[in-house]
């Protein structure tokens, strides 16, 4: 019996050491796992917003162009050119805009022509053909690029708008057969609009360029209402507008000869 007591103590001591080693090993593994966990950071949404109003790209060589309110960016495989923005020169009798920019480091000409363009690699069609010429200061060679581009419709237009004023006068549903005042929903993803003209439903497309907004190919149903004069007037003014501004949740439509033809209020 006396011989068994030391043996029993040894077994208990050995078991205790084994359990302790297992516990230490487990703790080390957990610590290692914690040390190797990758912490993911979420990129702020604001940093993903692109404020370009025109984008273009081309191949052979690959390049990309962004025109913003405050600068012009030309990204190429081996270099990037960033210049201040300049007011484009408009060519008469043709929808062509030309940016002529001169800095201490480079001269840059960008010509945007409203002419359908097809990407040489993807086959994707764009409404504008873009020609670029740039020359670094101190060099004799002028580099030329060609590609396709499109204007980026103002994201603020993407909403539901209700007519508030026409020709400087407040409107009410009584002016439009007592049902409702004209309203429309603009979708910048498809560059289309749908809505109510006062009696009939209406639909059409958008033509957008920098500071230019036109409502094109407008069509409506042919319902018979007691008074269509206000609706006819509204539709004519909508289709004659060429410029816009957005302030205080309101959309102001004008043209070259008349300001604030129509004023809409944002409701969405």
Interatomic CA distance for residues 95 and 187, integer angstroms: 24
pLDDT for the residue numbered 101: 97
Per-residue pLDDT of the chain (268 residues; tens, 9 = 90+): 444 444 444 444 444 444 444 444 444 444 444 343 333 333 333 334 579 999 999 998 999 999 999 999 999 998 999 999 999 999 878 899 999 999 999 999 999 999 999 998 999 999 999 999 999 999 999 999 999 999 999 999 999 999 999 999 999 999 998 789 999 999 999 999 999 999 999 999 999 999 899 999 999 999 888 889 999 999 999 999 999 999 999 999 999 888 999 999 999 6
Give pLDDT tens digits for 164-215: 999 999 999 999 987 899 999 999 999 999 999 999 999 999 999 998 999 9
Environment class of residue 150 by beta-carbon count within 10 Å: exposed (0-12), middle (13-18) or buried (19+)? Answer: middle
Interatomic CA distance for residues 96 and 201, integer angstroms: 35
What is the 8-class DSSP label of residue 174? Answer: G
Integer CA distances (angstroms), 165 to 175, 248, 264, in order:
11, 15, 7
pLDDT for the residue numbered 99: 97
Supply the pTM of this predicted model: 0.76
pLDDT for the residue numbered 24: 47
Contact 197, 181 (CB under 8 A): no
pLDDT for the residue numbered 50: 78
Interatomic CA distance for residues 154 and 18, integer angstroms: 70
pLDDT for the residue numbered 179: 82
Tokens matching residue 228: 């269509």
Interatomic CA distance for residues 206 and 94, integer angstroms: 19
pLDDT for the residue numbered 49: 56
Q: Tell me the pairing of strands 63-68 and 96-102.
A: unpaired
């Amino acid at each position: 019996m006396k011989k068994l007591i030391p043996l029993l103590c040894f077994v208990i001591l050995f078991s205790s050491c084994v359990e302790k080693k297992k516990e230490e090993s487990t703790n080390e593994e957990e610590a290692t796992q914690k040390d190797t966990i990758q912490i993911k950071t979420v990129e702020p949404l604001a940093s993903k917003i692109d404020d370009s109003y025109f984008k273009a790209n081309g191949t052979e060589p690959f390049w990309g162009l962004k025109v913003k309110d405050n600068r012009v960016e030309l990204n190429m495989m081996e270099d990037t050119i960033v210049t201040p923005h300049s007011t484009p020169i408009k060519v008469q009798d043709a929808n062509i805009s030309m940016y002529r920019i001169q800095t201490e480091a480079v001269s840059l000409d960008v010509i945007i022509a409203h002419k359908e363009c097809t990407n040489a690699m993807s086959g994707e069609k764009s409404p504008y053909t873009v020609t670029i010429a740039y020359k670094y200061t101190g060099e004799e060679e002028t580099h030329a690029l060609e590609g396709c581009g499109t204007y980026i419709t103002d994201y603020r237009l993407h909403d539901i708008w209700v007519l508030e004023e026409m020709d400087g006068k407040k409107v009410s549903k009584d002016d439009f057969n007592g049902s409702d005042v004209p309203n429309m929903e603009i979708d910048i993803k498809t560059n289309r609009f749908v809505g109510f003209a006062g009696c009939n439903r209406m639909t059409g497309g958008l033509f957008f360029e920098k500071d230019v907004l036109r409502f094109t190919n407008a069509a409506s149903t042919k319902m018979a209402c007691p008074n269509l004069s206000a609706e006819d007037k509204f539709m004519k003014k909508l289709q004659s507008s060429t410029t816009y501004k957005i302030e205080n949740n309101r959309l102001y439509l004008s043209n070259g000869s008349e300001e604030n033809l129509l004023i809409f209020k944002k409701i969405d």
